[in-house]
Chain A
């Protein structure tokens, strides 16, 4: 297994280089640069273009594309992620500052969706064809088809503004010292972020459970006189869990991507909100690092899923 992991990790290197180059190229092809985004369009006509050009040169934006990419990638290899062009803040500091907020939100959503999705999917499968099953199927369809930002805005209107139960947004305020102080701020964004994933997990768990329940070993377990709940949970659910774990694993990076929208709606100060701001201002060192982070998250999640699948399901042999 160690050889397999090492081989997979080595293949990440060329993949990351190629993907980062393509993202860098995409940014290069986008009109404008960080300097032109520092000036509101209404004021652009009054600015001295020579002074702006000097600023471009001082920020290294005057160098050819290939040179800039080389400087950036060689810096990253040496652990120097550069600094934000807009405000001069080291990228590593921005990451360390914003990442906990995104991880907090993403893992909360992952936890909620995994537990809820698995339970509801299992119930749906065990009550196949009943009103409960059909009701959950409809709810699942709604969950995957209505966009998250819509749920977010409705939730803010109802729970924050009309009922005044939860804060309208943000992660923290002065005097919030612990996680429990911040918890009310986390509830709405985490629940909204988890809606689509819960629906996905539920549908996946249902079909996986149905598949498991139709297997021979389930019939054998029943014929041995095992109680129904043990058959369902210990035998059926365990087997049904494998594809669900695969799904959850692949959802990890999606959660980080999905939080971009939720972070905007709920003013959540995470990487997603920072990414949108960086893209708008063409702050390429920051955009590149967020993109690189997402790429790595996808690739590593894929590796973890493979490993977990092999651990859970003995039939899977890594590297074959």
Chain B
């Protein structure tokens, strides 16, 4: 089967090479002309911007994904070349009469400065551009898809969007190239079978061939302009000792082995560590943002375990696991004697209920939701025609999951998926799972359990004595409230109230590095900032 897919991808490669991007507008929008988009790419001096404005905390991008193994030979880096940009604009007949409308949704000052620089660089090649911050319902303003996937008109009301794609699976970068999914790019026929192909196999080699092809098409036609890869910055005070435990993508779940960390005792001789990521009003369901919050990481254990790069490496709650040769049946056996923090047993029934609830929960992470909706009987459950998924069966501690269609990310999804204790949710509509009172003081299965939760003030975590990997060595974690992008991070770190955590904000890095007691460790994460260019005509 994999051979067949490889062959079909190779055939598509050939077709694409023969086709290439048409060097003219394909509809009434000047931006549908690849030469205009390429000119924009050449006009932006990303190397200098990364070095100066971002103070080296951004890596200029080549493709949508940051892994060069996903690129075909001969990828155009669109290195800064204003002369080439002017030539392309002249070839495309760009007369400079149109002022482009650039939008963005990051309210920070750095982004505003970046917009100002881009405006100046585009003006230098003859492209006028105004920029504005999107307010209110950002999702609705960036997500509308035209009825006619070639001629539009566009639903979105802007010319260029500065945004990002954060991904745990490479497919996330490309899936919206499926027909009728993209608000900005008319359907590219060559992309359609490639998107299907990378989603229809779990074979990394076959997927790689597909990614290379898609990266090549996007690069050639400059359909989306990847700008830079953002790093994540892990900070750690000199009180913390990880004892060799790895660093990784802190936004998700990985084998950070926090139960083995130690912290220098405070003046009272207590091993207390401070961090951020505590809730402000409620604990978020851990299926949505996976690892952003302190409780998502340390209060809930996942079925499988991933390494710092999010590659699944073994079982966490699962003792053993396997997937059938055709990838359609996934079986795992839970460890014996697992319990929830309240002492009740963690059972296969809890896992089954959690899978079914997560499939119905509307805010479940897209990659996880995609895996769960591929299970046999998921459609019937979601349509309300069944009470459970026919594809899940239980035998003692063993859970067997049969898929209706092959999902490429089964291991990845289950390395991020934390089951919940079903006994607390009897009769609860999964649509309103987040609104349940359980999320004021959740019960989990991870190395730490919640001791006290004072919303908007602090949350304290203490070791779970019966944790299956042994009791954690840190006696108490005090987590202060903050969302992703902690506005109070620097102040708290300077006041010794942040011993570990992470930031994605490059402007935090110099301040953290200046603190004598703090170490900052950059981590590469799949997070690409880019320009989406609206190639549909606007009304």
Contacts and interface: CB of A to CB of B under 8 A. Distances in A.
Given A83-B435, A86-B281, A87-B282, A174 B460 contact: yes
A88 interface: yes
Contacts of B492: 168-169
A183 interface: no
B87 interface: no
A281 B432 CA distance: 17
Nearest to A168: B495
B455 interface: yes
A267 interface: yes
A87 B365 CA distance: 18
Contacts, number: 136
A197 to B, nearest CB: 25
A303 to B, nearest CB: 31
A174 B478 contact: yes
A160 B492 CA distance: 10
Contacts of B280: 277
A44 to B, nearest CB: 4
Given A41-B105, A43-B166, A88-B282, A269 B143 contact: no
A318 B289 CA distance: 59
A146 B141 CA distance: 37
A8 interface: no
Contacts of A269: 454-457, 481
A32 interface: yes
Nearest to A38: B363
Given A43-B366, A84-B281, A88-B436, A58 B429 contact: yes
A47 B369 CA distance: 9
Contact of B363 (A39, A167, A273): A39
Interface in A272-300: 273-274, 277
A54 B362 contact: yes
A97 interface: yes
A98 interface: yes
Interface in A168-190: 168-174
A223 interface: no
Given A42-B163, A54-B431, A161-B495, A89 B137 contact: no
B432 A174 contact: no
A130 B457 CA distance: 47
Contacts of B54: none
B137 A31 contact: yes
A37 B440 CA distance: 20
Contacts of A33: 137
A59 B137 contact: no
A87 B491 contact: no
Interface string A52-76: 1011001100000000000000000
Contacts of A59: 432
B484 interface: yes
A41 B138 contact: yes
Interface in A6-49: 30-33, 36-49
B452 interface: yes
A274 B456 CA distance: 8
A156 interface: yes
Contacts of A168: 491-492, 494-495, 497
Contacts of B437: 88-89
A98 B366 contact: no
A36 B281 contact: no
Interface string A145-175: 0000000000010001100100111111110
A315 interface: no
Contact of B138 (A44, A52, A171): A44
A106 B458 CA distance: 22
Interface in B465-489: 476, 478, 480-481, 484, 488
B140 interface: yes
Contact of B136 (A31, A86, A174): A31
Given A44-B139, A58-B429, 14 more contacts: A40-B289, A41-B163, A44-B142, A45-B142, A46-B366, A86-B282, A87-B434, A88-B436, A161-B494, A168-B491, A169-B488, A173-B458, A173-B478, A269-B455
8 contacts: A42-B166, A44-B138, A44-B142, A47-B139, A54-B362, A88-B434, A170-B457, A172-B454
